[in-house]
A and B are shown apart, each in its own frame.
Chain A
Amino acid sequence: KAGVTQTPRYLIKTRGQQVTLSCSPISGHRSVSWYQQTPGQGLQFLFEYFSETQRNKGNFPGRFSGRQFSNSRSEMNVSTLELGDSALYLCASSSTSGVETQYFGPGTRLLVL
């Protein structure tokens, strides 16, 4: 099976812009979770989607949002970008929503200038 894919892999934006990142889970997986990784804050959970519904949300401002489509592909959107949003954004998929093994994609590295 193909692994989790994330597009784009690298992205440069300027403050105030918005960005959309995409994640395609492993075939058959219905749960997609998003994480932000920064040198200062480490790995932090953003949100999880399961069957097109947000199941859990981390402690991030409303500028961070996401959605999941019927084919389980997920997108996350960050509006009004700030310098501090520069990070590696990781997507993980699992077969169900229930402390299953999560398989991570390679991430999208976002740089905000």
Chain B
Amino acid sequence: AQSVTQLGSHVSVSEGALVLLRCNYSSSVPPYLFWYVQYPNQGLQLLLKYTSAATLVKGINGFEAEFKKSETSFHLTKPSAHMSDAAEYFCAVSYQTGANNLFFGTGTRLTVIP
């Protein structure tokens, strides 16, 4: 079954510190992987996506993620946290070409401490 696991429902970092949000997927076939961010009372915004091209994917707002097949991971990182990064982050996976049904992780709420 398709699934995504996000380790840590809450992560707190100091402003300027490294942000690391973890995501692991379960799959026997190559997946398509996404990171979305959700600000309060808003919809989801795509940060980045992996679709079997380069394993290191750069996204918006300084975020990047690395696809590691051996670890079935797609962790999201940002070198230096900014106050505006405080939000909820969702990792999502899709396994079907020709389909737009995403399977989401449970989300990680990021708090940035000034």
The answer for the CA separation of A31 and B103 in the assembled complex, in Å, is 17
A contacts, CB < 8 Å to B: 4, 31, 33, 35, 42-45, 48, 50, 55-56, 58, 90, 92, 94, 97-107
Of the stretches B18-26, B42-50, B63-71, B72-80, the one at the interface is B42-50
Counting chain B residues whose Cβ lies within 8 A of the other chain, the interface size class is 20 to 34
Chain A interface SS verdict (over half): strand
**Is the CB–CB distance between B100 and A31 below 8 Å?**
yes
B44 cross-chain contacts in A, Cβ below 8 A: 90, 92, 104
Chain B interface SS verdict (over half): loop
**Is the CB–CB distance between B49 and A101 below 8 Å?**
yes
**Is the CB–CB distance between B99 and A56 below 8 Å?**
yes
**Is the CB–CB distance between A42 and B106 below 8 Å?**
yes
**Is the CB–CB distance between B100 and A97 below 8 Å?**
yes
Other-chain contact of B96, A94, A99, A105 (Cβ < 8 Å): A99
Judged by a CB distance under 8 angstroms, whether B51 is at the interface is yes
A35 cross-chain contacts in B, Cβ below 8 A: 102, 104
